[in-house]
């Protein structure tokens, strides 16, 4: 009788230990899942501009660099640098809160005028950048910038917000290009565009 009781207790302990072990594995899996979700959220937060929800500068540069590395010899894209015209006047006359709303509107109009395969970023302040994939046609880039400015004018009027336009400079991106050098060339074109007129466009 005692042997039966000992055997029974031993079996119960084993079953209990097995259930505890299984529960521990379940809890460990759930904890790992939560950590993975938290990590992905942190990585996403680190890549996104807080004000506009577009890529930040670091994330944009990294993604464009990856695009360049994945290009074939015949592939091309266009890097566009954009800058708000007279944005300081808006901040001075209406305050930074209104200025932030204008920047958010500009970001929305940019996102609304590009494809899902393209990239957009708020670099800092009122400066933005776009990477247009699978084209080397500057007229495509110019049309996108024109559409952005047209939508900015109409939407800012509809929302009773100060009007802003974006001037832009563009450069063709090919395999082996260097992001820093591309940005310098596009910035030079942007300076030329801003010197001509508000909402101007120039390319390398």
One domain for residues 17 and 116: no
Per-residue confidence (pLDDT) for residue 23, from 0 to 100: 72
One domain for residues 84 and 26: no
pLDDT at 35 over 60: no
In a domain, 108, yes or no: yes
One domain for residues 68 and 37: no
CATH of the domain at 199: 3.30.70.270
One domain for residues 97 and 17: no
Q: What is the pTM of this model?
A: 0.80
Domain that holds residue 33: 1-47
What is the number of domains present in the chain?
2
pLDDT at 98 over 90: yes
One domain for residues 116 and 196: yes
Per-residue confidence (pLDDT) for residue 1, from 0 to 100: 53
Per-residue confidence (pLDDT) for residue 89, from 0 to 100: 96
Local confidence band at 111 (pLDDT 50, 70, 90 cut-offs): very high
What is the distance of C-alpha 141 from the center of its chain?
A: 18
One domain for residues 34 and 84: no
One domain for residues 138 and 196: yes
In a domain, 100, yes or no: yes
One domain for residues 76 and 94: yes
Reported as a single tens digit per residue, the pLDDT across 165-197 is 999 999 999 999 999 999 999 999 999 999 999
Reported as a single tens digit per residue, the pLDDT across 137-153 is 999 999 999 999 999 99
CB 49 within 8 A of CB 119: no
Average pLDDT across the chain, whole number: 88
One domain for residues 34 and 90: no
Residue 19 tokens read as: 């259930």
In a domain, 52, yes or no: no
């Amino acid at each position: 009788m005692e042997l039966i009781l000992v055997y029974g207790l031993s079996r119960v302990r084993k079953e209990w230990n097995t259930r505890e072990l299984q529960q521990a594995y379940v809890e460990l899996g759930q904890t790992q899942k939560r950590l993975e979700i938290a990590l992905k959220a942190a990585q996403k937060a680190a890549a996104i501009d807080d004000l506009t929800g577009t890529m930040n500068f670091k994330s944009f540069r990294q993604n464009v660099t990856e695009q360049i590395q994945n290009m074939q010899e015949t592939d091309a894209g266009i890097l566009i640098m954009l800058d708000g015209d007279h944005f300081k006047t808006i901040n001075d006359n209406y305050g930074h809160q209104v200025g932030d709303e204008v920047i958010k509107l500009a970001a929305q109009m940019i996102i609304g005028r590009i494809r899902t395969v393209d990239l957009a970023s708020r670099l800092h302040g009122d400066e933005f950048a776009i990477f247009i994939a699978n084209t080397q046609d500057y007229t495509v880039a110019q049309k996108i910038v024109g559409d952005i400015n047209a939508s900015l004018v109409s939407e800012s009027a509809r929302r009773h917000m100060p009007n802003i336009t974006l001037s832009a400079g563009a450069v063709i991106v090919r395999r082996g290009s260097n992001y820093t050098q591309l940005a310098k060339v596009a910035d030079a074109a942007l300076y030329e565009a801003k010197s001509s007129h508000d909402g101007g466009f120039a390319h390398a």
